[in-house]
A and B are shown apart, each in its own frame.
Chain A
Amino acid sequence: MNAPLINWYKFSSPATFYPLAAKLIPWFTAATILLAAVGLWISFFVAPTDAQQGEGYRIIFVHVAASWMSMFIYCVMAFWSAMCLSFNARLSGMMASALAPTGAMFAFLSLLTGSLWGKPMWGAWWVWDARLTSQLILFFLYLGFIALQSAIDDPRRADKAGAILSLVGVINVPIIYFSVQWWNTLHQGASVSMTKSPSMAQTMLWGMLIMALAFWAYSITMALLRVRCIILEREMTNEWVKKNALE
C-alpha cells in the first residue's frame, strides 16, 4: 500500500500547522492584493454608471462582498466547531476562534456600507428589510460567540462551548432569516429594499465576484495570522514554542 504523498493528519497538530501557516500567509496576502486591485479597478473604471442610482451604486462592490464573507465565515466557523467537537482536535477549535473577529468585522462593515448606501438612495440610514435585519442578528451572534469565549478562562472549555454556540447559531440562521422575512413581508413595511439592486450589467457581477474573492483571500490571511497568535498563546509552555516562536 502506498502511503499518501502528504500526511494531512500531521497538520492537525498546532505545532506542525504553525510553520505551514507561515508559509501560506505570503501567498494569500499576494492573492488579496491582486484580487483587490483588479476588483477596485473594475469597481471604478470598468463598471458603467447606473441608470437609476448614478455613481452611488458602486457601494455594492464592497457591501455585497462584506455580506457574503460575514455569512461564509460563520459557516466555516461552524464547520471547524463541528470538527472540534467530533474529533476533539485542538487546532479546529483554535481555527474557529481565529475566524470570528474577521467575520464580525465584515458583518459590521456590511451594516455600515448598507446604511451608507441606503441613506442617499432611499432616504433612511436604516431600513428594517429582511436582509439588513438578518445581517444585524448575525452580527449579534458573532459578538455572542466572542463574548462567551473571552469569558471562559479554560481554553478547552471555551473552544467547546463556543463550538456548541456556533453550531446552534448556524442552524438557527436560516430559521431566523425565514422568520425575519416573514415578519417583513407581513408588515408591508419597507417599500424600499436592499435586495432591489440595480439591474446587473455583466461587469457589475464580475466586480462583485472579484471583490468577494479579495475579501475571501483576506479572511484566510487574517485567520492564519490569528491562529498563529492563538497557538503561541496556548502552547506557551511547550518546548517547541521556546525554540521556534520567533519565526
Chain B
Amino acid sequence: MHWNSLNDFFAMGGYGLYVWGSFGACALGMLIEPLLLRARRRAIVARVPAKELME
C-alpha cells in the first residue's frame, strides 16, 4: 500500500487518464457484454410463447 492519499490514487502519478481509461474501458466492455447477452436471451424467451401460439 503506497498511496499517500485518494487523490494520489486517482492521479496515478500523472498517468491517471491513461491508466483509468484503460481499466475503465475493460470494465465497461466486460459489463456491457453480459448485459447484451441478457437482453438477447430475454428476446428469445419472449419469442417462445409467440411461436407456440403459431403452431
Which chain A residues have a beta carbon within 8 Å of chain B's beta carbons? Answer: 40, 44-45, 48-49, 54-56, 58-59, 62-63, 66, 101-102, 105, 108-109, 112-113, 116-117, 119-120, 218, 221-222, 225-226, 228-229, 232-233, 236-237, 241-242, 245-246
Is the CB–CB distance between B51 and A237 below 8 Å? yes
Contact with A along B22-53 (1 / 0, CB 8 A): 11011001100110010011001101100110
Number of A-B contacts (CB under 8 A): 91
Closest to A46 in B: B1
Q: Which residues from A are CB-within-8-Å of B22?
A: 59, 62-63, 112-113, 116-117
B contact residues around A233 at 8 Å (CB): 44
A56 pairs with B34, CB closer than 8 A: no
Which B residues are within 8 Å of any A CB, using their own CB? 1-3, 9, 12-15, 18-19, 21-23, 25-26, 29-30, 33-34, 37, 40-41, 44-45, 47-48, 51-52
- Name the residue on B nearest A29 (C-beta): B34
A229 touches B41 (CB 8 A): yes
22 A-B pairs with CB atoms under 8 Å apart are A48-B2, A54-B14, A55-B14, A55-B15, A55-B19, A56-B15, A102-B33, A105-B29, A108-B29, A109-B26, A109-B29, A112-B25, A116-B19, A116-B25, A120-B18, A222-B34, A225-B37, A228-B41, A229-B37, A232-B45, A236-B51, A242-B48
Give Cα A226 to B40, complex, Å: 9
Asked if B33 contacts A222 (CB within 8 A), the reply is yes
With A109-B26, A222-B34 as contacts: A245 and B45 at CB distance below 8 Å: yes
By the criterion CB–CB under 8 Å, are A45 and B1 in contact?
yes
